[in-house]
Amino acid sequence: MMSHIHAFLGCRTPDAWVAAALADQETLLIDHKNCEFKAASTALSLIAKYHSHVDLISMMSRLAREELVHHEQVMRLMKRRKIELRQLSAGRYASGLRKAVRNHEPVKLVDTLVVGAFIEARSCERFEALVPHLDEELGKFYFGLLKSEARHYQGYLKLAYQYGEAKDVDQAVVRVREAERELIESPDIEFRFHSGVPAFS
Ligand SMILES: [Fe+2]
Ligand SMILES: [Fe+2]
């Protein structure tokens, strides 16, 4: 499964990002918690928007529940570690990827699903990059999440091919892959779960 994800993504997480994450695990966890919430909230808004797409609704309903469980798990871990919740602005990643989404249907749905597949695949790859360096508790937790994100990646991609034309989906994958790679490999002044190469001191 990891080899599929590595082949799907346009690049690997830079070592400098892993170093920044290990150095600021508090921000990592707070932003990770926010990402889980956003994953659930995106799934719910897709249900509201595509109210006649039965398979999409079934997957998104299950996904929203699962992401909310992850959200609660991160909250519990933060509580054990006495990490206080604080307001953290969203990084540039999701809004950057949204720019690659065409704004007319039915291709808007295709692009949205492809973007979802990339976010899940990148999350999976980042958990994998972090796991060997983490303490036992966080390492075990992230190893479990890595497997869920791999499943979510597959789910999003499958729906994209179900609701789109294969050739168009292939092209959307190429386009989003390039935009995603750029966000991961270019300098980023903020550290977040999906940030680029750390450009701060
Ligand atoms: Fe998740
Ligand atoms: Fe996920």
Ligand whose nearest atom lies closest to the CA of 152: 2
CA–centroid distance, 32 to ligand 2, in Å, is: 11
pLDDT score for 130 = 98
C-alpha 153 – ligand 1 centre gap (Å): 11
What is the distance in A from the centroid of ligand 2 to the CA of 65? 10
Question: What is the distance in A from the centroid of ligand 1 to the CA of 176?
Answer: 21
For ligand 1, the distance from its centroid to the CA atom of residue 126, given in whole angstroms, is 12
Give residue 15 CA to ligand 2 midpoint distance, Å.
23
Ligand 2: centre distance to CA 152 (Å)? 5
How many A from CA of 66 to the centre of ligand 1? 7
**187 touches 197 (CB < 8 A):** yes
Between the CA of 149 and the centroid of ligand 2 the distance, in Å, is: 4
The pLDDT tens digits of the residues spanning 104-134 come to 999 999 999 999 999 999 999 999 999 999 9
With 0.85 as the threshold, say if the pTM is over it.
yes
**2-28 mean pLDDT:** 97
Asked whether 156 and 165 are in contact (CB, 8 A), the reply is: no
Q: Give the ligand at the shortest distance from the Cα of 145.
A: 1
Calpha distance 48→70 (Å, rounded): 22
CB 117 within 8 A of CB 157: yes
HEC secondary structure over the chain:
CHHHHHHHCCCCCCHHHHHHHHHCHHHHHHHHHHHHHHHHHHHHHHHHHCCCCHHHHHHHHHHHHHHHHHHHHHHHHHHHCCCCCCCCCCCCHHHHHHCCCCCCCCHHHHHHHHHHHHHHHHHHHHHHHHHHHCCHHHHHHHHHHHHHHHHHHHHHHHHHHHHCCHHHHHHHHHHHHHHHHHHHHCEECCCCCCCCEECCC
Look at residue 201 and tell me whether its pLDDT is greater than 80.
no
CA 47 to ligand 2 center in whole angstroms? 16
> What pLDDT is recorded for position 75?
98
Give tens-digit pLDDT for 57-67: 999 999 999 99
- pLDDT surpasses 90 at 1: no
